Amino acid sequence: MRAFALTAPGAFEVLEVPAPKAAPGEAVVDVERVGICGTDVEFFTGEMAYLHQGHSTYPMRLGHEWAGRVAAVGDGVDSAWVGRRVMGDTMLGCGACRRCRRGHQHVCEKRQELGVRGERAGALAEQLAVPVSSLHVLPDSVDGVLGALVEPGGNALRAARAAEVRHGDRALVLGPGTIGLLVAMFLRAAGAEVHLMGRTDASLAFARGLGFEHVWRENAVPGLPFDAVVDASNAAHLPELALDLVEPAGRVVYVGLAGEPSRIDTRTLALKDVTAVGVLSASPGLDATIRAYADGSVDPRPLVAATVGLEQVGDVLAGNRPPGAGPGPKVHVDPRLS
């Protein structure tokens, strides 16, 4: 089969590799769609922290936002899985440690992260082998496009829920990228008045096109009481701004990661009686995200600007927009395209 591989920072190949076989407890999936995300770009540039911490090494096969159809299963797996349309959890815990036993496999110290951490090959390939325990079935109303948006949507849903907004509350999202826009969609579905802060006219215009009326540059955010602020950016200075902007007794949610350490003044946190929450991983939010997509309460399709084949992935990771791409922040890959 064909698979995309990073061999070094900025270096890549589309290879012919052996098709995966389902080990006991595993399924082999025919991949239909894969999303390219900021984590993949960090591996492409060599900036990803896991590379420097020894959790990831080149060569590596990327791809952790995906959807497909089960083609085969290994020993010990119900054959009824074959033919099901699925997406999968990125976080694969060891299953034996205290965290895994408590249902927190996404923070397992020994976890693999599909296409990210450990030696589990990612989904930028025609087929993928994964533990069947990581699979989530997609209903007919959730096609491959939506299926490959479940993983980023799960992160966003968890961030929106952590904000604990009530109907009529005012929430501010910092960073109108894929995660930030998804957070805004889930907050809007919860009944909040949603504001977004971004850096470029193009990103703010796109957010307006999604129906978000309150969009601002950093120097123009109005002096309104924000009951919750979600930092979905990669800017090191914005965690502090989020804390400054949130109302006393409000909530700040951190789902974005900067390339360098951020600082907040915990005196401000305490004196404002603010609750701060960090979000890592979509794992606890996957099923609820699938339901939201299925019932139409959140529709992230406009976020996808283009769909390319494996041969175009390297160009996208290098920061080049595919010809004819729309204004959305997300590029999808269909490994079946030549």
* Mean pLDDT estimate for the chain: 97
**3 state DSSP class of 15:** strand
- Residue where the block lists tokens 């012919």: 16
Q: Give pTM, 2 decimals.
A: 0.95
CATH numbers and ranges of domains, the chain? 2-149+300-333 (3.90.180.10), 153-278 (3.40.50.720)
- Flag whether pLDDT at 5 surpasses 90: yes
pLDDT at residue number 83: 98
Angle between helices 150-163 and 178-189 (to 10 degrees): 50
What's the rounded Cα separation, in Å, for the pair 163 and 165? 6
Token code pair at residue 297: 């309460």
pLDDT digits (tens, 9 = 90+) for 113-126: 999 999 899 999 99
145's enclosing H/E stretch is helix 144-147
Q: Please write the tens of the pLDDT for every residue from 168-220.
A: 999 999 999 999 999 999 999 999 999 999 999 999 999 999 999 999 999 99
Could you give the count of Cα atoms lying within 13 Å of 293 in the half-sphere of its Cβ? Answer: 30
Identify the band that residue 132 occupies on the pLDDT scale cut at 50, 70 and 90: very high
Distance CA 302, CA 320 (A): 19
pLDDT digits (tens, 9 = 90+) for 228-280: 999 999 999 999 999 999 999 999 999 999 888 999 999 999 999 999 999 99
Examine the pLDDT at 324 and tell me if it is beyond 90. Answer: yes
